[in-house]
């Protein structure tokens, strides 16, 4: 797993291929767990929340171990 900074307005690709924009970083109101608030860049643009730890983890696929999300572009337009 890379130590990639998650920032609002950055664009990410899920390992299954869909693209997402990070809208904000948040804290769970009871556990204080770090959360990522993000929007699908397809379909109806549904807004989702996922724990930061899960966002940055790797998953096992038929292709081997891959990052769940890969940074495509940060808010400055850099990759």
How high is the pLDDT of residue 73?
83
> Which DSSP string do the residues of 4-60 spell out, in sequence order?
PPP-TT-EEEETTS-EEEEEEEEE-TTT--EEEEEEESSTT--EEEEEHHHHT-EEE
How high is the pLDDT of residue 1?
39
How high is the pLDDT of residue 34?
97
Query: What whole-number distance in Å separates Cα of residue 17 and Cα of residue 40?
Result: 11
Q: What is the pTM of this model?
A: 0.86
In the chain (79 residues long), the average pLDDT of successive 10-residue segments reads: 78 97 98 98 98 97 95 70
Choose the CATH number for 11-73 among 3.40.640.10, 3.30.450.40, 3.40.50.300, 2.30.30.320: 2.30.30.320
Consecutive H or E run containing 3: none
* Residue 58: closest CA among 47, 67, 49, 50: 67
């Amino acid at each position: 797993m890379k130590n990639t900074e998650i920032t609002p307005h950055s664009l990410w690709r899920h390992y299954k291929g869909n693209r997402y924009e990070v809208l904000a970083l948040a804290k769970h109101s009871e556990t204080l767990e770090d959360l990522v608030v993000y929007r699908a860049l397809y379909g109806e643009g549904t807004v989702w929340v996922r724990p930061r730890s899960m966002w940055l983890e790797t998953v096992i696929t038929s292709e081997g171990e891959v990052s769940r999300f890969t940074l495509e572009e940060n808010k400055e337009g850099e990759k």
